[in-house]
Structure 1
Amino acid sequence: MEEFEEGLKKYKDCHSDYLSQLPVNEHQPEIKRFKDKELSALGFRFQVHKWIATTEASLQDSMDESSLRSRSHKSRRSVNSMASSVKSALIQEKSKLASLLAQRALLEKQTEIAQQQAELKAKEGLLKLDGEIKVARAREKVFQEEVIPSTDKVLNLETPAFVPSHNVHQNKLNVTVPFLPMAPAPESFYQSQQQLAAAMMLPHAEVTKFCGDLLEYASFMLAFNDRFVPHTTSDSNRLYFLNQHLEGKPKSLIAECMSMNASEGYIEAKRLLDKVYGDPYKVSMAYIDKLTKWPQVRSDNSESLQEYALYLVKCNHTMQSLSNMQVLNDSPNLQMVISKLPVYIQNNWLDHVIKLRKQGVCECFTTLVEFVQNAAEAAMDPVFSREALGIVCVFSKAKANRGSSQTKQKSFAVTVQPSNSANQYTRKCQLCSGHHEFEECLQFLHRSVDERREFVKDNGLCFSCLGNNRTSKKCLNRRQCKTCNKRHPTTLHI
């Protein structure tokens, strides 16, 4: 048995060296084969030990009773000790056998998992090949419909075959080849070829993953239905791609659908998504909530005004399909939308509403969106916007004294610097020291007319233009009241 144990140990060492020389993808099958061999050897060793124990027991029973009685107490103890050692060896062999069986079961499970992963990878490769095959078939269909009919018209099937003739005097072979007229290809063929080439040149369209934003659900489903549904042949493929393009809560929502039947799982997944993220009331409230929490648009930030106008346009388009958003036509909601705009745009909106009412037109959310769009375009105009006209003119009078021989010269330099920020061209407010027009100051507008006039008087401001000129009679920049059309600021109208 010692030689057997030594041989088994050498076999294990040799197998380890052999396994290190194999590729990684062949390790699992080789390890399984080795475990089977090792299990067989250990089973053989177990049978040998069992046979030895049985033989010793039978020898012990067949001993002469007389010899047993004549033996001393010491010899009996040695026999019992030998039997106990054999029993302990059997127990050790049984434990090793149980451990090997457990390892074998674990290896079989790992092999099964590896096979499943390989099958999934093979399925993905088949899906990719199916897509390429469909593209190739589409191109083949185009050629069959356009190229083959045109070639039938070009070839003249009734033309007689050529007949070679030998000229004896010239000792030369003359061959008469019939002339085949070439008919022009149809215009539809060239158009289809151009469309096919343009489609092949387009970049691969990707669908952005949906993470649970109610405002993005409609556009996500539109892109998914256009990108995947027409190009897949089964609901199992559609369910797989749908699960791949979800993240977070939406992915957890349809997790149970992945274990269902393919068709039922796909239908149930779409139903759950439509119920949670496509409910018209929830979507409408999400739009209105975002509009309510929109930050105040500053008068010196034309980009934020443009962004606000684009979101209002989006809300207006969504209102056409969601009836719950018709509440934006209510006066309180219109006031909420207007309150986000700068003061000068609010005043212009008031003038616009008065003109509409005189024409018999009632203001609504659509007219407000069109007005804000026009205001944003005016604010972004590169020539006549407030930002474009807000330039700083610096007139400097310089005297040059460069030597006793040079005469004194007067020079007037005019530097025009387009401002890059609002702080360079807006006047500083006399009340809150902010960078905006004094008439647009919210603190000034929240006061009563008497308090406004008192503030103008105490600070020595002009009652005609609200400037720093104390003499309003000589003011050359008188403002016209939008209420009574007289020559004074609208904010000081009584």
Structure 2
Amino acid sequence: MAFVRNGDKGPTTTTKSTMDSLVKAISLPRPDLQPFDGDPIRYWPFIRAFDVLMSDVSDDNFKLTTLMKYCRDKAYDALQCCLMRDPSDGYKLAREILSERFGDKGTVVQTWVAKIVNRPKVDVAHLRQFSDDLSSCRETLDAMGFVGEIDNQRALRTVIDKLPRYLQTRWVREYQKIKSKGNQPNIGDVVDFIKSASKEANDPVFGSLITGSAISSTSSNDKSTVTNN
């Protein structure tokens, strides 16, 4: 609807709609941020959320103060020198320091891969957490163009080796199904497989059947090992 002068009758429908939208936007609560402690895995989610929070702020002094407020431990210590600068220079330097020390793509990739492949074996109780971590790892590396670091046969075998025995056996069958269709299993297949297994294990009605079976199987294997020794 075009803007039309309305004399002294008040704002037009278009103007009123725009004003209403602005009032609603101003009245919405600002999203809060989870503090950033210097963990490279959390750098990009943190900095993007911070930019959204500061999207309508132009005061560099306020930006720097807010950035310091949400930094902890190593990240906070690294920014102390920025407080001695002019606000504009200090804020620019703070962003550069955070990016260089905690946002380097190589560091983020290595940290994510290490978190996945160096973790201990996963029991049924922690299957959902493993599923969430693996999914986040895949999405992050894919967005950064480094998904190949986790999407190779050696890495996939390492991921499967982390799973409970019953899921390893099930994956072998799934693996053969994928290959029978002329495809090579990839990290997406593994993520979907573990996500589905996690949903089963955490089902409010029947999940306890899987949990109980896994515990029983582990106990039997332990007893067998003791007997054989």
Q: Is the structural similarity TM-score above 0.5?
A: yes
Which aligned pairs between 1:275-354 and structure 2 lie closer than 5 A? 275-298=100-123, 301=124, 303-354=125-176
User: 2: CA distance between counterparts of 1:428 and 1:270?
Assistant: 49
Query: Is residue 422 from structure 1 mapped to residue 215 from structure 2 by the alignment?
Result: no
The residue number in structure 1 matching 2:194 is 372
Aligned residue for 1:152, secondary structure, equals coil
User: In the superposition, relative to structure 1, how do residues 380 and 245 fare at CA in structure 2: closer, same or farther (>3 Å)?
Assistant: closer
> Do the aligned partners of 2:138 and 2:150 also contact (CA within 8 Å) in 1?
no
| C-alpha displacement of 1:206 | 2.1
Deviation at 1:153, TM superposition (A): 7.5
Q: What's the % identity of the aligned pairs?
A: 22
CA shift digits 1:117-136 (9 cap, x unpaired): xxxxxxxxxxxxxxxxxxxx
Q: CA deviation at 1:264?
A: 2.3
TM-score (norm 1): 0.40
Q: Flag the structure with higher strand content.
A: 1
Kindly report which structure 2 residues correspond to 1:87-166, keeping only aligned pairs within 5 A, or say none.
Answer: 149=6, 152=9
Q: Mark the CA change 1:278 to 1:153 in structure 2 (over 3 Å): closer, same or farther.
A: closer
- Check 1:334–1:187 CA distance in 2 against 1; reply closer, same or farther (3 A cut): same
- Structure 2 equivalent of residue 193 of structure 1: 20
Which of 185, 188, 193 aligns to 1:363? It is: 185
RMSD: 3.3
Q: When the two structures are aligned, how many residues end up with a matched partner?
A: 224
* Contact persistence 2:113–2:149 (CA under 8 A): no
CA displacement at 1:368 relative to structure 2 = 0.7
* Structure with more relative contact order (C-alpha pairs < 8 Å, separation 6 or more): 2
TM-score when normalising by structure 2: 0.81
Q: Summarize the Cα distance change of 1:354–1:240 in structure 2 as closer, same or farther, 3 Å threshold.
A: same
Uncovered stretches (5+) of structure 2, i.e. residues with no partner: none
- How far is the alpha carbon of 1:193 from its aligned partner? 3.1
Which residue does the alignment assign to 1:432?
222
Give the distance between the partners of 1:291 and 1:304, measured in 2 at CA: 13
Distance 2:218 2:100 in 1: 53
